[in-house]
Chains A and B, each alone.
Chain A
Amino acid sequence: MITKSLYQEVILDHNRNPRNYGSLDNANRSAEGHNPLCGDHLNIKINLSENLIIDSITFQGESCAICKASASMMTANVKGKTQADAETMIKEFRDMTVGKLEPDDDHHLGRLTVFVGVRDLPTRVKCAILPWHTLQAALNSVTTISTEADDDPMHVSIGNAS
């Protein structure tokens, strides 16, 4: 059963010891993501260099293990990447969790494919995606996003930010 593999050691480890957890002084991009259905929220802060490289990134908040591990692994993966590369990953991650991209396809997600199991748990897809949409919002200089209502990221087109 796929959900069995969802709580893999790598996810549990990132939940227990989240990377890049905390605040960031001199951040020039930040956003707050909410999931009003469960009260989860997280804040992402970025230092984006002049040539659009994510020099540093941190996150903070309260959330389930899936969301926290996703945020932790995301920050570890996008740090040092360009905004464009990060946006490609956001799109790929989203596509994977909704079944439009298979772990065997070409992509830049690396170990992040451990989250593929959430696609079988529609209520948990939002948990895994929340950090990614918050990242997108931060990169776009949008300060808050929500998993629900008009600003539901599931309804917002992602990855085509100018």
Chain B
Amino acid sequence: MTPIEPSLRSSGTSMFNVEQIRSDFPILKLKIDDKQLVYLDNAASSQMPTVVMDRMLRYQTMEHANINRAVHYLSETATAEYEKSRHKLKNFINANEDREVIFTSGTTDAINLVAHGYGRKFISSGDEIILTVLEHHSNIVPWQMLAEENGVKIRVVPINDAGELLIDEYKKLFNKNTKLVGVTHVSNAIGTINPIKEMIEFAHTHGVPVLVDGAQAAPHMKIDVQELDCDFYTFSAHKLCGPTGIGILYGKANQLNRMNPFKGGGDMITSVTFEKTIYNTIPHKFEAGTPPIAAAIGFGAAIDYLSSIDLSTIEAYEQSLINYATEQINNIPGIRIIGSAAEKVAVLSFSVDGVHPHDIGTLLNQEGIAVRTGHHCAQPVMQRFKVPATTRASFSFYNSMAEIDALIAGIQKVQKVFL
């Protein structure tokens, strides 16, 4: 095995030093029964740097009160910090305005918000929604629930053997009944980066809005919602070095304005009488109840942290990781990589001849290596590749080449056990 050099140059002046980056993440020092932790389950959830934890601790220690409610110092501070986080997210995705960023509890919540607020209002019996085979269950099930409720038809874009969407087939699915496209920017199961810009452009020529599930894209590449021209974009903080329980839905202001609210309650109204309730304006219309304020502020700190490294640096480094991992795993006989799209993020889904993914997962765990095994909440992808499950190693910018070597050695050890 000849280790290749990671691309060391960032777009700025600083060098990308993975060892230094790793020291920002205390959990990476953990030992699992004497074995050094090798965390390769980043697509499920990423780890958190100290700065983010510190930020949330500082909030709870010195800034906490409920937001949007009282005139006292703490409430004003908490509200201001919460809104600052929204502003950071707006900049992070280059939205036009802060109010286009809705805090949700995560990607799943955001998609459900669109399914209710947009779907129930504007999509009805006889209408069609286009999804893709690569969707996570969270971008399938809310639409199926809508379909069950009002007879909406779901049409599905297929993929080729590499795991790439068939764009010609996608284009053929459009007709006068098409009301929405839901597409994942990046497949969580196999890493494919979908050509969403082209897909959005095409949908718009038919006057169809597009919801992009960015849960697996936002951690790995620069997102510019204005350049993409998507109508909705969503992702979760916990995959971006932030806390669980928070995420965002970006929506174009004109879309959000014409939608129904999702949840009813405090903060999302301007006035309530038993005769008539007037909904608040966006973003508040979609933020009923007390949100996870510390988490939202932590999300902002995570965005600051990622921005300080720079997403293009992260992207380049992670590409060197996946190239190296792919090359190394291809050297092992009896391995099949599932998903070999020309454009993919640092996700390696594979199967090992004669060994069930569960056994691989358990045996790798004995080496301290954390991978995900199973269907990755994307059963249609598994069905397409005729496998019940795969083993998935998903990388982050804090992973090192040495950890890939550990994974490769672990897989070889698994093969030896099952020889």
Contact = CB atoms under 8 A, between A and B. Distances in A.
B97 to A, nearest CB: 42
A84 B372 CA distance: 40
Given A12-B418, A63-B356, A66-B358, A37 B374 contact: yes
A65 B388 contact: no
Nearest to A4: B366
A3 B375 contact: no
A100 B374 CA distance: 28
A7 B388 contact: no
B359 interface: yes
B359 A1 contact: no
A38 interface: yes
Given A12-B417, A40-B388, A6 B362 contact: yes
Given A1-B33, A12-B417, A65-B418, A39 B358 contact: no
Contacts of A66: 358-359, 362
B190 interface: no
A39 B363 CA distance: 20
Contacts of A15: 418
Interface in A17-64: 37-40, 62-64
A124 interface: yes
A127 interface: yes
A4 B365 CA distance: 10
Interface in B349-403: 355-359, 362-363, 365-366, 373-375, 382, 388-389
A121 interface: yes
A144 B365 CA distance: 32
B374 A38 contact: yes
A124 B359 CA distance: 9
Nearest to B32: A1
Interface residues of A, number: 20
Given A1-B33, A12-B418, A62-B388, A38 B363 contact: no
A30 B389 CA distance: 26
Interface string B56-92: 0000000000000000000000000000000000000
B362 A124 contact: yes
Nearest to A124: B362
A125 B216 CA distance: 30
B389 A39 contact: yes
Contacts of A39: 375, 382, 388-389
B395 to A, nearest CB: 23
B417 A7 contact: yes
Nearest to B366: A3
Nearest to A41: B388
A7 B418 CA distance: 10
B359 A64 contact: yes
A63 B362 CA distance: 14
A148 to B, nearest CB: 13
A7 to B, nearest CB: 6
Most chain A CB within 10 A, of B359, B365, B417, is at B359
A15 B388 CA distance: 19
B417 A64 contact: no
A38 B417 contact: no
B44 to A, nearest CB: 13
A121 B374 contact: no
A38 B33 contact: no
Interface string A116-131: 0000010110010000
A65 B362 CA distance: 11
A7 B366 CA distance: 11
Contacts of B355: 65
B388 A1 contact: no
Given A7-B417, A38-B374, A65-B359, A1 B366 contact: yes
Contacts of A121: 362
A78 B418 CA distance: 27
Contacts of A12: 417-418
Contacts of B363: 7
B375 to A, nearest CB: 7
A111 B149 CA distance: 53
Contacts of B356: 40, 63-65
Interface of A: 1, 3-4, 6-7, 12, 15, 37-40, 62-66, 121, 123-124, 127
Given A62-B388, A64-B356, 13 more contacts: A3-B365, A6-B362, A7-B359, A7-B362, A12-B418, A37-B374, A38-B357, A38-B374, A38-B375, A63-B356, A65-B356, A65-B359, A127-B358
16 contacts: A1-B33, A7-B417, A12-B418, A37-B374, A38-B373, A38-B388, A38-B389, A39-B389, A64-B356, A64-B357, A65-B355, A65-B418, A66-B359, A123-B358, A124-B358, A127-B358
| 4 nearest A-B pairs in the assembled complex, by CB-CB distance | A39-B388, A64-B356, A64-B358, A65-B359
